[in-house]
A and B are shown apart, each in its own frame.
Chain A
């Protein structure tokens, strides 16, 4: 893949344009992801951060068309992966891409594997889905994959059931499944949230290692800013279904623009400060049914809120080169004449 690298460098691997994903609550659809656009370049690790309920997971499930059926749906927008639109694909078409070119690992390793099938079966399934491979080859490959994600005794584990494995091991198995067909894009939806701290570090290290070896892009969804600093090239900060800030990782930590980002960074506990209470952002993310229709969605929690924040909806726009912010503190976010 490295020979393609220079060619792919300009073109984004994934481009999401004006994505709107809605959920059906009592017959009305509410946008959980509202007008989100971003790009992921080849080999890039993009972090998506935000509080719980910000639409991070929904956004990632939308890309894979994995939204719960009959409840959630992509209302509008485009998802262009490697030159093809994913959002209008039929189930059969997207199945050819899922697990092969784009794959995903989830937050809950304890329940993400089917309890009644062996690790080997679940790992080989993705191989059988996308490659012509004999049973023997698939078995050998699955053992090799388990080995590559750092599982000792893979020839034994391959015949074991999920309940015989620890959480960290299961997440490694999930990673092995995700990388089995060498996807171009891996979406990791809070892959370490359910694991304990030492295992978290191992899993992240493994992900980074695999990303480098396989030349793949990663969308890493997390609410751990430490993880972002460690892993990511670019960061998207989401709040209430919208992107509020998008920039490279260094700028985000040293020069955050959006008050929400600043508060998020302030909520990270520091080793050298002795604090009785951890600082937090007051209030909660508004629920889907309770979303402000106009104005900035963060306004009622924002310490820098101005009267116009409640009446004017800020736009996501470049403040600096490659640093997008949606906040009325910056001229660029103010709606221009003739633009809604």
Chain B
């Protein structure tokens, strides 16, 4: 297993290299550049602009620019944000905890809801309860998150006033106190619910269908013939088989925790990486944008690796070597 993981990690290097070329090329293909962020905004002298362009290396051939960027990148120098005028790593580390908090809360809510609804529906298919859950799930699946987000803000923030509609923490709370953390949790709950809506629905249906399918398998009949109680058959024999396909999602979820949610974070003006990403596109903040894209790509590869390794852990038929 270790050998397998090591080989996979080695295999990521050429992959990341290719991704970096694509990311860089795409960034350069975008209209406009961040020049305006790098120069004195009061000086509009064309000669000065030309000079600065030359000086910043914007006129160098693309390969040269690429290698300058990637060279610094692998040494841990992600560049300076043209918008915030501080190191990219600093910008990211400011936002990262918020995003992780949102992602984790959302995933925990998703898993708990999907587990209970999925196992219930799978065990009692085609009953009223199952149909109700199924109906709600399809509703959840068919509502885009920007609609659900706006609606949730309207209902729960403005009308009912249960949750704050924006930000990640109340102004005026001191960092580190219980009040501070409660406030953060209070802020994260609504976006987390909206964010989890879609995946809760799909996980529930996946789990349900897999449980129904597995409950018709021969090994279930064997377990019943052994005198194993129905509850144990579902909770042990069937469930253990039904979680295997869901492992794929776990890998993606790990990525989602960190990569944040562009739409949800933007709607809730929640200061996470997703919001940062969208803002960086808008302000042509290439150093931040490229670093984020590289980070997300890297995490996707890691997430897939983790999913593959977990497959080997939960399914004895899959051997990793």
Binding site for B on A (CB under 8 A): 64, 66, 68, 91-92, 94-100, 103-104, 106, 108, 111-118, 122, 125-126, 129-130, 161, 163, 174, 177-178
Which A residue sits closest to B214, measured CB to CB? A114
Tell me the minimal C-beta distance from A259 to chain B in angstroms. Answer: 35
Contact partner, B222, options A96, A118, A177, Cβ 8 Å: A177
Distance between Cα atoms of A96 and B227 in the complex (Å) = 6
User: Can you list the 8 inter-chain pairs with the closest CB atoms, starting with the nearest?
Assistant: A99-B227, A99-B226, A98-B227, A111-B218, A114-B219, A126-B226, A161-B316, A95-B227
9 further A-B pairs in the complex, CB-CB below 8 A; given A116-B316, A126-B227, A177-B226: A95-B228, A95-B229, A99-B228, A106-B225, A114-B237, A116-B240, A116-B314, A126-B226, A126-B228
1/0 per residue B216-252: CB within 8 Å of A? Answer: 1111011111111110000001001100100000000
- B219 is contacted by which of A68, A100, A111 (Cβ under 8 Å)? A111
| Interface range on chain B (Cβ under 8 Å from partner) | 20 to 34
Assuming the contacts A116-B314, A116-B316, asked whether A100 and B241 have C-beta atoms less than 8 A apart, the reply is no
- Complex Cα spacing A111 to B224, Å: 14
CB-contact partner of B217 in A64, A98, A111, A129, under 8 A:
A111
What are 23 A-B interface contacts by the 8 Å CB criterion?
A: A64-B225, A91-B230, A94-B227, A97-B227, A98-B224, A99-B225, A99-B228, A104-B225, A106-B225, A112-B218, A112-B219, A113-B219, A115-B219, A116-B314, A116-B315, A116-B317, A117-B240, A118-B316, A122-B222, A125-B223, A126-B227, A177-B222, A177-B226
Inter-chain contact B227/A92, CB cutoff 8 Å: no
A66–B241 touching, CB < 8 Å: no
B126 nearest CB neighbor, chain A only: A70
Given A91-B230, A115-B241, A177-B226, also A106-B218 (CB < 8 A): yes
Distance from B123 Cβ to chain A, minimum over Cβ atoms (Å): 11
Most buried by A among B226, B237, B241: B226
Measured between alpha carbons, how far is A217 from B155 in the docked complex, in Å?
Answer: 69
Smallest CB-CB separation from A101: which chain B residue?
B227
**Cβ of B316 and Cβ of A113 under 8 Å apart?**
no
Inter-chain CA distance A96–B217, complex, in Å, is 22
Tell me which of A64, A114, A126, A177 contacts B241 (CB under 8 A). A114
Q: Which residue of A lies closest to B219 (CB)?
A: A114
Inter-chain contacts of A130 with B (CB < 8 A): 227
CA gap between A62 and B271 in the complex, in Å: 63
Residues of B within 8 A of A112 (CB): 218-219, 221-222
Closest to B229 in A: A95
Residues 249-285 of chain B: 1 if any A CB is under 8 Å from the residue's CB, otherwise 0?
Answer: 0000000000000000000000000000000000000
Q: Which of B225, B228, B241 is in CB contact (< 8 Å) with A116?
A: B241
Whether B223 lies near A114 (C-beta < 8 A) is yes
- Residue among B222, B223, B237, B314 making CB contact with A174, cutoff 8 Å: B222
Contact A113 B226 (CB under 8 A): no
| Distance, CA A94 to CA B227, complexed state (A) | 7
Q: Once the chains are docked, how many angstroms separate the CA of A104 from the CA of B224?
A: 10
A64 CA / B315 CA spacing, docked (Å): 31
Residues of B within 8 A of A100 (CB): 227
Asked whether, in the complex, the Cβ of A115 is within 8 Å of the Cβ of B316, the reply is yes
Q: Which A residues touch B241, using CB under 8 A?
A: 114-116
B212 to chain A, nearest CB (A): 11
Closest to B318 in A: A163
B223: which A residues are within 8 A, CB to CB?
114, 125
What distance in Å separates the Cβ of A126 from its nearest Cβ neighbour in chain B? 4
A174 / chain B contacts, CB cutoff of 8 Å: 222
Closest residue to A187 on the B side, CB-wise? Answer: B225
| Contact of A98 with B230 in the complex, beta carbons under 8 Å | no
Tell me if A98 and B222 are in contact (CB < 8 A).
Answer: no
Given A104-B225, A116-B240, A125-B226, A68 and B218 touching (CB < 8 A)?
Answer: no
Q: From residue B238, how far is it (CB to closest CB) to chain A in Å?
A: 9
Chain B residues, CB < 8 A from A106 = 218, 221-222, 225
> In the complex, what residues of A have CB within 8 A of residue B240's CB?
114, 116-117
Min C-beta distance of B90 to chain A, whole Å: 47
* B227 and A163 within 8 A (CB): no
